[in-house]
Structure 1
Amino acid sequence: MLAELKGLNEECGVFGIWGHPDAAKITYYGLHSLQHRGQEGAGIVVSNGGRLQVLKGEGLVTEVFNEGKIEKLHGKSAIGHVRYATAGGGGIENVQPFLFNSQNGSLALAHNGNIVNANALKHQLEAQGSIFQTSSDTEVLAHLIKRSGYLSLNDQLKNALTMLKGAYAFLLMTETEMMVALDPNGLRPLSIGQIGDAYCVASETCAFDIIGAEFVRDVMPGELIVIDDRGLHSEPFTLSTSSAICTMEYVYFSRPDSNIHGINVHTARKSMGKQLAMEAQIDADVVTGVPDSSISAAIGYAELAGIPYELGLIKNRYVGRTFIQPSQSLREQGVKMKLAPVRGVVEGKRVIMVDDSIVRGTTSRRIVTMLREAGAKEVHVCISSPPMKNPCFYGIDTSTHEELIASKHSVEEIREIIGADSLTFLSVEGMLKAIGRPQDGNQCGQCLACFTGNYPTEIYPDTVLPHEKELVR
């Protein structure tokens, strides 16, 4: 994936397991399989039934943990987290899971998503005496729980969840139970698995495959699940639900071997490539994909169009993360270090370059240039999703229209900017058809806000930058 180069990043991934003697090791492997969802920090909290123990740090899973450290995490239950910072800054204090201690026991908390009314809630809580230890929106839930007037943690949590707006997949753990909650729109994926007698929870089903767990089911929107030594118990914390899974999970974020609501991600992406080929109708000699997330779509495009698929771009998998900087000049240099064209494949050829999305246009422009420098006669760019014209407030770091090239320019203008011979985006209708999510009345069951501007939740004023407010509806 070129997330760090394109400026398109998912916030994080969560994993939890209850009732396994190697809980810490299992969680380590689960987090490793979710590493693509966040590379800035990782953490694990383990429960031995009497106390909670935390280990976390900045960096990749393999950098934060080693065998010696994992061996010191004793317990049969654990939750873990990999982080990419969108809400809250960097720093070890913002690395999850968070661990809170009180006279009534301890609480560990991990979160994937973004709470759009977090700032408003923080102002209210601070006025009531709360002191926040992090800049993360996740911490809000812990304060709402402690300030609830209910006696049981179950009731405290249900009351707190009804006050949150936005995208959230929560894992909570105490000495005696693990709690799982998904927002009423189910914006982020979350699934339940089982390995022996132990239950596990993960942002993606690919985590179950690596640990040898069996997929049980997806967590439903507005659902609260409690897992303890007696088993798994489920109840809704709200009846006001409407499924709106993030479409970009299918297009870009999730691993190809994951299944989201019964749909394999690779299969969906391949179908998007086929649909794109039907809509584009381009005469060319070779099809290539931008590694890694676009390969499935490129294969589908080539298969439908009857044009050979070739490895026209090679990804350097040994580039360190230190070169990734926010400035445009270094971002362009990063593309050169990350990707290289295969001259023997593209020289003298009319090339169709399939990619999953265009955010700023920087990466696309540089790749087109590289292909031309390698001798490509023509470069046709085909994108397996519609133009991203609107910011996301649910955990993807595109929070302003200014950083989205499609919000300011037409398709033809973008084509000129990136230097392609042609530019084709997949239509919204074609994308939905390719993914194949079942229709729920007039609802497609997916969030299309970044493409259409229609948000499934209210977007709170303090979530939107002042100059953006008139653009968000």
Structure 2
Amino acid sequence: MSRQMPPAHPFDDDKLKEECGVYGVIGVTDAANFVALGLHALQHRGQEAGGIVSHDAEQGFNSVRRFGYVRDNFTRHSLMETLPGPLAIGHVRYSTAGSKGAAIRDVQPFFGEFSMGGAAIAHNGNITNANALRKELVERGSIFQSSSDSECIIHLMARSLQRNIPERMEDALRRVEGAFSIVAMTGSELIGVRDPLGVRPLVLGQVADGWVLSSETCALDIIGATYVREIEPGEMVVISEKHGVESHYPFRRVPARFCIFEHVYFSRPDSIIGGRSVYETRHQIGVELAREAPVDADLVCPVPDSGTPAAIGFSHESGIPYAMGIIRNQYMGRTFIEPTEQIRNMGVRLKLNVNRALIKGKRVILVDDSVVRGTTSRKIKEMILDAGAKEVHFRIASPPTAWPCFYGVDTPQREKLLAATMTEDEMRDHLQVDSLKFISLNGLYRAVGEAEGRNSNCPQYCDACFSGEYPVAPSDMIEQGFELKAAE
């Protein structure tokens, strides 16, 4: 029996938690092995649980779902032998909708048996009208097996009158609001689809005579697949060994609003987004930050690991030396020990340690990707001062996170976000640092390739966590009392 895992990062709830990762392969021998490798490369997108569904002509559909890391579950030969076939999909999860620390029934991919055959679905994103859909479906007789918003899609497909699985999926997704990048499968087809706004990523690759769908390009590299292109916002691809890749656009076209935080933090730095290297974008964020918020100091130090490319960019632009002033303990796993109160009080020291010989007597610029609650920033500042630093200056590679995300990212309630209740100066005083500066929203847009900055009339990205401007109204949350930003 699978046991429930403890929460990820038990000593640090001060980061936005990655959404999920999806992956699918068709046209190769033992596709599930390729999927396991792909999910390993996407582990940063979800560390709570993972699952794989495969299909074999003789055995039909087979499924394995487990809590914990891919490396701890899907590397055993005896388990992978239970997932035969040339077609498989997989999912790694961090719970964003449904109960936290959920039961195994909440782990994707989800599977459904329809009159025309079985289908499995793996979803990255969040359905913002899931509560309303679930209520309607339950009243009409649907019996849900999980607390996940993603299961609504399976039930909507079951009630569709369309003639095949892809058409039923289209029918279902037209009723869904919010963000979705989906990898699904029938007994002979691999299906990929993105919501019309293209909030969450999805790419197409080719390996030998087969095809791959993945949340990120870094998970193509691990199996030696060739990157072909991104799945476009609002596009559905149906891939079969007989017909290859068939593409169409079942939804009304609207301006795309890709999640800008994928550039800042979620995606791996060795991935490519929109033809741009994530690493190079983060480096450029540091360059823009140095131009916008210069400060006299002796060292530029990243808060590892996500602050590293921006810190290098800041150093290059400012001329201030870059240094590894904070060292990360790479072996601090999620199951290290059951955290007693005494251990909890050690805070980030279990994961990070200051390079004292380097820091002592120096004016230090710390570059981090974001400030959410501020608790970790304050602890790191204390560690730096304890090591003998003369000054501590924070430079943040994203604008202030003042609004929660409802599109597949686990963020605290708005009142728990530091930037929702404090000005930048008030946050500086709260953190007790010598200075604190965030990159501007226009500066972030310039760093991701928008030379003129943000078009306020038609933003090029989803930046709701910074601006409070939600491209899709979070109807379920509004019904529960969430208040949108007042019109200016």
Contact 1:13 1:31 in 2 (8 A): yes
Match of 2:51 in 1: 43
Percent pairwise identity: 46
Letter of the 1:445 partner, please give it: Q
The separation in 2 between residues aligned to 1:413 and 1:46, in whole angstroms, is: 53
1:317: Cα distance to partner?
1.1
1:320: Cα distance to partner?
2.3
1:17: Cα distance to partner?
0.5
Structure 1 segment 358-377 matched on structure 2, within 5 A = 358-377=371-390
Q: Do residues 194 (structure 1) and 214 (structure 2) align?
A: no
Q: Do residues 406 (structure 1) and 419 (structure 2) align?
A: yes
Deviations 1:243-287 (A, max 9, x none): 111111000011000011111100000000010001111000000
Q: Do residues 61 (structure 1) and 74 (structure 2) align?
A: no
Deviations 1:284-318 (A, max 9, x none): 00000011111000000001000100000011111
Match of 1:378 in 2: 391
The separation in 2 between residues aligned to 1:185 and 1:309, in whole angstroms, is: 38
Contact 2:116 2:165 in 1 (8 A): no
Contact 1:401 1:468 in 2 (8 A): no
Q: Do residues 97 (structure 1) and 97 (structure 2) align?
A: no
Contact 1:437 1:444 in 2 (8 A): no
Contact 2:256 2:461 in 1 (8 A): yes
Secondary structure of 1:322's match?
A: coil
Change (3 A) 1:403 1:323: farther
The separation in 2 between residues aligned to 1:28 and 1:116, in whole angstroms, is: 30
Letter of the 2:195 partner, please give it: D
Letter of the 2:413 partner, please give it: T
Letter of the 2:64 partner, please give it: L
Match of 1:228 in 2: 240
The separation in 1 between residues aligned to 2:443 and 2:343, in whole angstroms, is: 35
Contact 1:325 1:331 in 2 (8 A): no
Match of 2:136 in 1: 124
Q: Do residues 454 (structure 1) and 481 (structure 2) align?
A: no
1:339: Cα distance to partner?
0.6
Structure 1 segment 24-43 matched on structure 2, within 5 A = 24-43=32-51
Contact 1:287 1:307 in 2 (8 A): yes
- Return the match for 2:292 from 276, 279, 299: 279
Letter of the 1:451 partner, please give it: F
Match of 2:4 in 1: none
Match of 1:172 in 2: 184
Match of 1:463 in 2: 477
Q: TM-score normalized by structure 1?
A: 0.95
| Greater share of residues in helix | 1
Secondary structure of 1:468's match?
A: coil
Q: State the Cα RMSD in Å.
A: 2.2
The separation in 2 between residues aligned to 1:331 and 1:185, in whole angstroms, is: 41
The separation in 2 between residues aligned to 1:49 and 1:163, in whole angstroms, is: 33
- Return the match for 1:297 from 304, 310, 314: 310
Q: Do residues 78 (structure 1) and 73 (structure 2) align?
A: no
1:239: Cα distance to partner?
2.5
Change (3 A) 1:445 1:147: same
The separation in 2 between residues aligned to 1:271 and 1:408, in whole angstroms, is: 29
Deviations 1:329-364 (A, max 9, x none): 976634110111100111100000000100000000
Structure 1: tracts of 5 or more residues without a match: none
Q: Do residues 389 (structure 1) and 402 (structure 2) align?
A: yes
Letter of the 2:477 partner, please give it: T
Match of 2:222 in 1: 210
Contact 2:119 2:165 in 1 (8 A): no
Match of 2:25 in 1: 17
The separation in 1 between residues aligned to 2:415 and 2:175, in whole angstroms, is: 31
Q: Do residues 333 (structure 1) and 346 (structure 2) align?
A: yes
The separation in 1 between residues aligned to 2:300 and 2:216, in whole angstroms, is: 29
Secondary structure of 1:189's match?
A: coil
The separation in 2 between residues aligned to 1:247 and 1:279, in whole angstroms, is: 19
Q: Do residues 52 (structure 1) and 65 (structure 2) align?
A: no
Structure 2: tracts of 5 or more residues without a match: 1-7
Contact 1:323 1:330 in 2 (8 A): no
1:63: Cα distance to partner?
1.8
- Return the match for 2:147 from 117, 135, 138: 135
Moved more, 50-59 or 299-308: 50-59
1:468: Cα distance to partner?
2.9
The separation in 2 between residues aligned to 1:324 and 1:167, in whole angstroms, is: 36
- How many residue pairs match? The answer is 472
Contact 1:145 1:156 in 2 (8 A): yes
The separation in 2 between residues aligned to 1:130 and 1:9, in whole angstroms, is: 31
Secondary structure of 1:292's match?
A: coil
Change (3 A) 1:17 1:391: same
1:103: Cα distance to partner?
4.7
Contact 1:43 1:96 in 2 (8 A): yes
1:415: Cα distance to partner?
0.9
The separation in 2 between residues aligned to 1:269 and 1:444, in whole angstroms, is: 20
Deviations 1:36-91 (A, max 9, x none): 00000011111113511111111110122223211332100110110000101212
Secondary structure of 1:46's match?
A: strand
Q: Do residues 426 (structure 1) and 436 (structure 2) align?
A: no
Contact 1:369 1:419 in 2 (8 A): no
Change (3 A) 1:472 1:449: farther
The separation in 2 between residues aligned to 1:233 and 1:328, in whole angstroms, is: 56
The separation in 1 between residues aligned to 2:458 and 2:303, in whole angstroms, is: 32
Match of 2:14 in 1: 6
The separation in 1 between residues aligned to 2:184 and 2:276, in whole angstroms, is: 27
Contact 2:347 2:379 in 1 (8 A): no
1:205: Cα distance to partner?
0.3
Letter of the 1:254 partner, please give it: S
- Return the match for 2:250 from 204, 226, 237: 237
The separation in 2 between residues aligned to 1:353 and 1:325, in whole angstroms, is: 30
